[in-house]
Amino acid sequence: MNIQNTTFNEVLKLIKTSKQKVYAQVNTTLIELYWDIGNYISTKTIKENWGKSVVKELANYIKLQDPTSKGFGDKNLWLMKQFYETYYQNKKLYTLCREISWSNNRRIFSLKTKEEREFYLSITVKQKYSYRELERQINSSLFERTMLGNKKLSSVVKDLPQDANNIFRDIYTLEFLNLQENHKEKDLQKALIGSLKDFILELGIGFAFLGEEYRLQVGDDDFYIDLLFYHRDLKCLVAFELKVGKFKPSHLGQLEFYLEALDRDVKREDENPSIGVLLCREKNDEVVEYALSRSLSPTVVSEYETKLIPKKILQDKMNELYALYGLSDEEIKIVEGV
């Protein structure tokens, strides 16, 4: 019976794969249709001064002539026009649009800037976000948190053979853990393991979990890394150390030791140097910058929030970043999404 189950599962896999291909083809065809309709209406608004009243007449005509067609109300037709006008000058973004659902497209092309739209299009395609997952990432300011994370990477991380841009966040939002305000490190670790799927979604593309309390033996002594991951794109081990208090420079020593042990005893020859992430409840960016400037280990220091981050908090952190790093006006526009 077990042999039959194995054989039957192979057939089931073929069916599921075929269904996924059919859905992808249908979705692509639908997005292309919406694009063509958007192009048509956009052209008419320019050449023949079509307005919303004419588009409403068009919607009524479609409904009368083809009652089985759904999704062609006047509001959706006008959105198709906006969809076309948002991307018609950027073939790269249009190509990405064809790979995601219309509901996800509608959410993304409503964003302010080209940089934001490209960021969320790329990550939605790679992560295969549902609408709920995409909405959560936008509401948690993933774009801004990632841009801030990129600017705060230490020179050691930037000089690694692997490109760490867009991988690490300045702040990780862990509202899904439902932690008490006065939680302990063990509480945080246990909650993260219990919500590993959500945590990996928050970490982003490429992270694979290897273990908690990962044991390292150096000489006759045992040491334990809070959480150990492998990143497929970076091709390296990523060690997470959890701190429920404010960042202190002394925290770096332990993590640097773990990274040295991983590179000597665990890392394979074809893998890149390991990276450490110190996940703290709070940090002072100037203290972090001072501490990392003398560190020889590739380390990222990030905060975590137990609730979705209010925009004001994020704006305050951006202002701190401007003061520390002297961003240009163009960089400020990208970070702020202007």
pLDDT at 70: 85
pLDDT at 270: 95
Tell me the CB-side half-sphere exposure of residue 43, using CA atoms within 13 A.
Answer: 7
Encode the chain in three state secondary structure.
CHHHHHHHHHHHHHHHHHHHHHHHHHHHHHHHHHHHHHHHHHHHHHHCCCCHHHHHHHHHHHHHHCCCCCCCCHHHHHHHHHHHHHHCCCHHHHHHHCCCCHHHHHHHCCCCCHHHHHHHHHHHHHHCCCHHHHHHHHHCCHHHHHHHHHHCCCHHHHCCCCCCCCCCCCEEECHHHCCCCCCCHHHHHHHHHHCHHHHHHHHCCCEEEEEEEEEEEECCEEEEEEEEEEECCCCEEEEEEEEEEECCCCHHHHHHHHHHHHHHHCCCCCCCCCEEEEEEEECCHHHHHHHHHCCCCCEEEEEEECCCCCHHHHHHHHHHHHHHHCCCHHHHHHHHCC
Q: Name residues of the chain where pLDDT drops below 70.
A: 1-6, 310-312, 314-315, 317-338
pLDDT in tens, 198-225: 999 999 989 999 999 999 999 999 999 9
pLDDT at 17: 75
pLDDT at 336: 47
pLDDT at 88: 92
Q: How far is 172 from 142, CA to CA, in rounded Å?
A: 9
pLDDT at 171: 93
Distance of CA 165 to the CA centre of its chain: 12
pLDDT in tens, 74-96: 999 999 999 999 999 988 899 99
pLDDT at 320: 66
pLDDT at 118: 93
Model-level pTM? Answer: 0.80
